Amino acid sequence: MASAQTLPFFLWVVILIAPLLTTPSKTQSPAPGEIFSRGFTAANLSFGGGAEVLQNGILRLTNDSLRALGHAFYSSPVRFKNPSGGRAASFSTAFAFSIVPQYPSLGGHGFTFAISRSRELPGALPSQYLGLMNSSDLGNFSNHIFAVEFDTVQDYDFADINDNHIGVDINSLASNKSVTAGIFAENNSTLKEIYLKSGAVIQAWVDYDSLKNQLDVRISKSSVKPTRAVLSFNVDLSEVFEDYMFVGFTASTGLLASCHYIMGWSFSINGQAKSLDLSSLPSLPSSDGNGHKGLILGVSFSASAAMILLASVAFYIVRKTWNSDVIEPWELEVGPHRFPYEELRKATHGFRDKELLGFGGFGRVYRGILPNSNTQVAVKRILNGSKQGLQDFVSEVSTIGRLRHRNLVQLLGWCRRRSDLLLVYDFMPNGSLDKYLFDEPKSILSWEQRFKIIKGVASGLLYLHEEWEQAVIHRDIKAANVLLDAELNGRLGDFGLAKLYEHGANPTTTRVVGTLGYLAPELTKTGKPTTASDVFAFGALLLEVVCGRRPVEQKALPEELILVDWVWEKWTLGSILEVVDPRLGGQFNEVEAVMLLKLGLICSNSSPQIRPSTRQVVRYLEGELVLPEKALPPDGNYDIKKGSGGGTGLDDCTHSYRSSSYYDKVTMWSSTMDEGDHDLEAGLTSPASGSSISDCR
């Protein structure tokens, strides 16, 4: 028996379902203005993936499982053209939806209203593909797919504008047009943003006028259709639509999940769809911690059976609480995904040594396979003795976890078990870049691969410095922290030392941390990390990749080799190409090599004012800007042999890594997996000044 709460919904279905009794067959044409209202029952919908209808009639496309997809199309095809072909018909639809993220404000990934030649969508993928397409069929005219996406994740592969947008997709998921989700105030051009993943019930209207070739999309949290569209797009869908098409919805989740609900739906060919009365729709299911499945059971219990059930549930909860960690209130505010400890223990086979990828000052890193999705991950297990407070560290992780860029290693989630902290990252099958450059590399990277890696890291660094909502200073850029994915794309990782600032803010003084050979000289004086100090480290990385040598080397020569000085000396002698990694066998682009070496020298300048900005670096690498004709020496002032302009000579020039005795005694503390990392907080003394590095705050 239907409850009083759900009865209005079923009345609405009964009233509007009548036209379905006379739905035209495939040989019939819908009459102008005829309304097709889709009552959500299994009888008139075709499902795929995890889509299902809950007991009260709500269509749920996905639950809060990771990397899931779901779609539901009306079972019968709808005629969009006359038998002779020609212009596509006008259509109108209204539907009410709700996106309930597993964790507040961290949605994934979104849903679409879709019109497709097929109701099966073979090969469709989850995550950024929204359960609609896959990587091999993007952009194919043969797809015959039209969709309006309601996207809650910013995907850079598809040039998404933000993580709260509406887009028009034609045969691809790179939107033809997209806008921030919102509503225009009456008689006002001000857009009021509506957050799609807020969990609120939102009504959407999609109207296509085939005579004007105009598509309009509107959304509102009310039952009243806004007068002004939030998205208008001029398009002729005649080439997209075939005579008959299927109409419905798709959705997906990724490494973060949301439940995607459709509460009600009306659709019309050559007419206006009826707006929905939101107050008459059923209520969303309450969360029970297991994917909102509580309403599906629909079982009536006697009083005695209910008592038994309650006793069993209470026993289960007590037992689980006894065997698990107590979650403190502050942890509920932390994102991204919080993994159960048992899941990560199983993924790494009990953190056994066979799965160990590396270790360093923070802890050990293990390879793992998540049991529920067979996804490979890297799990960093933080040592108990870490000096950083657990709550402070997790708060920082909460921010870093929101970074999204194809050239950054993605932080997928975390876990706390008593005093242990575990961080879960994308698994990079080809390991770190340094394994391909130094000592006895596992294989030799070609010139083309090296150039692509450099450009990728620069793009990721630009995102950190200028394109995210805050400025992120990485503070530990080096070859060991550049990881390579399956296609040998470079991804900057390990944000254990990163600092965040508001754009335009003055960085605060902090302890000097980083790795010897990559530290900008001004850091030991000011203790203030900046984007310019990151650029200095990037310059060292540039020279590493081109030369195949470390910034500081002691093994091959009686005296240490300072890479930037050696490259500058070869430059002044006119033999710059001699520094290119000999393992390339001369197979490299000389013009690109000279450009990278010159850029490396400029980035390595001891004066932060002379170094280029990260955006300039990217433009140099893309060929949009031409480098200065002359390369400046690393200190911007001295002559290679005797000094000039009142400056010091080569032997007197101090870099952050210049003193061999200092190098012998100090290894900079780092969050990487280098063996023997230490924290300079203890106050090791520089022989040059007699002052402790930890005094620079």
Nearest to 518 by CA among 639, 663, 652, 633: 663
Residue matched to tokens 């996905």 = 62
Nearest to 382 by CA among 416, 405, 354: 416
For 587: left if phi > 0, alpha if psi spans -120 to 50, otherwise beta; the answer is: beta
- The answer to whether the annotation marks 380 as part of a ligand binding site is yes
How many alpha carbons lie under 13 Å from residue 206 in its C-beta half-sphere? 23
Can 420 be counted among the known catalytic residues? no
Which residues fall within 8 angstroms of residue 465, CB to CB, at 6 or more apart?
A: 471, 472, 473, 531, 534, 613, 614, 615
The beta-strand segments (E) located in 398-464 are 411-417, 420-426
Phi, psi at 317, each rounded to 5°: -65, -45
If you count them, how many residues does the chain have? 697
Is residue 405 reached through a cis peptide bond, with omega within 30 degrees of 0 on the bond before it?
no
Interatomic CA distance for residues 690 and 593, integer angstroms = 40
DSSP 556: S
Phi, psi at 465, each rounded to 5°: -75, -40
Phi, psi at 133, each rounded to 5°: -140, -175
Which residues fall within 8 angstroms of residue 553, CB to CB, at 6 or more apart?
A: 560, 561, 563
How far from each other are the two terminal CA atoms of the chain, in whole angstroms? 70
**Side chain identity, residue 591:** V
With beta carbons less than 8 A apart as the criterion, state whether 497 and 513 touch: yes
The residue from 151, 207, 476, 494 that is catalytic is 476
Helix, coil or strand: residue 482 = strand
**Side chain identity, residue 697:** R
Interatomic CA distance for residues 680 and 254, integer angstroms = 40
Give 111-142 as a 3 state SS string.
EEEEEECCCCCCCCCCHHHCCCCCCCCCCCHH
Nearest to 200 by CA among 226, 221, 182: 221
In our burial notation (b when 16+ CB lie closer than 10 A, e otherwise), range 501-536 reads beeeeebeebebbbbbbbbbbbbbebbbbbbbbbbb
Please identify every residue annotated as catalytic.
476
Task: Please report, in range form, the residues annotated as the binding site.
Answer: 380
Task: Please report, in range form, the residues annotated as the binding site for ATP.
Answer: 380
